[in-house]
Amino acid sequence: MRTRPLALTSAALALVASLAAGAAPAFAVKRPSCSAGSTLGLTKSARAFSVTTASVRRVYGCSTTTRKVTYLGRAGNDGGEGVDASVIAVTGPRVAYVRNACSDNGCSETVLVYDLKTRAQRSVAQATPAEMQSKVTDIVLSTKGVVGWISEDRQGDPAVATARFVVARQPGLFRGTPVVPIATGLDIAPRSLALAQTTLYWTQGTAKSAPLP
C-alpha cells in the first residue's frame, strides 16, 4: 500500500513564502554578514552558507553585489520543517535549494529557486510527481535559472525508495504546475546528476543525458 500523499499545510506554505521573501526568522537571531559561516555554494554573484549558533544550524544566501543576506531556513527538519544543507546549488545570482515538511507520515520536499540579487522567488515545485514521502538527492541550476534534480518517492519506516525521477523545471513555474519527469526508474543512481551547459547527465544503468527544457 502506498503511503498517504502529503500536503503542505497552509501554515507551512505561508512559512515557505515568508522565508522565500527574505523575511527574518521569528526568533531574535542577528543576521550574519556575507562572509560568515561555512560555504555551501559560491559564484562571483552569490554565496550560500550556513552558520551554527546555540547548536542550531541556519542556512543563508547572499548577493555579493548587494551584500544583502537572505535567511533560507534551519538545516535539517527540527520542528517539522527545514532546509537540506547537503542539496544546494548556486549559479550566477540564484540559489536552488530544498525545503522539507515532516509529519507522522514522513517527510515531503519542495524545490525552490531564489534570486539573491533581486530577492525574488523564481520557481517552486514539489519534489516528486505524486508528492508522496520524498527525498531530493541531487540538484543543479543552469545560468538561465532552469533547475534539475533527482528525487525519490519513499515508503515505510525506515523509508525505502519506491520510485526515482529525474526532473527539470523552467524558471517562473510555481506550485500547482505539474512535475513531469525526464526519466523514471529505481535504477536511477542518486548523486549522479551533472549539468554541462544545457544538457543534463545522470546514471541509469548506463550514462544518460537529456537537453534542458
CB 50 within 8 A of CB 61: no
Instruction: Answer for the pair 114, 121: CB distance below 8 angstroms, yes or no.
Output: yes
Cell numbers that stand for 120 in this block = 525574488
Residue 77's φ and ψ, nearest 5 degrees, are: -135, 40
**What pLDDT does 63 receive?**
98
For the chain, the domain total comes to 1
Tens digit of pLDDT for each residue in 167-210? 999 998 887 788 889 999 999 999 999 999 999 999 999 999 99
| Unique residue bearing C-alpha cell 544518460 | 208
Judge whether 3 lies within some domain.
no
Does a structural domain hold residue 4? Answer: no
Given a cut of 80, whether residue 30 has pLDDT beyond it is yes
1 located within any domain: no
Please report, to the nearest 10 degrees, the dihedral formed by the alpha carbons of residues 47, 8, 178, 207 taken in order.
50
pLDDT level of residue 163 (50, 70, 90 thresholds): very high
For every residue of 32-46, DSSP letters joined together read PPTT-SEEEEE-SSE
139 vs 22: which has the higher pLDDT: 139
Residue 172 burial (10 A CB sphere; 0-12, 13-18, 19+): exposed
Say if 5 falls within a structural domain: no
Confidence tier at 158 by pLDDT (50, 70, 90): confident
Query: Per the domain annotation, does 114 fall within a domain?
Result: yes
Contact 97, 116 (CB under 8 A): no
The band of 28, judged by pLDDT with boundaries at 50, 70 and 90, is: low
- What's the CA gap between 99 and 136, in Å, rounded? 10
Is 2 inside a domain boundary?
A: no
Decide if 45 is inside a domain. yes
Domain ranges, residue 123: 10-211
| 203 within some domain | yes
Task: Label the pairing between strands 106-115 and 94-103.
Answer: antiparallel
**What integer is the mean pLDDT of 9-13?**
44
> For 76-133, how does the pLDDT look when each residue is reduced to its tens digit (9 = 90+)?
866 578 999 999 999 999 999 999 887 777 778 999 999 999 999 999 998 988 767 8
Q: Which three cell numbers stand for residue 174?
A: 510555481
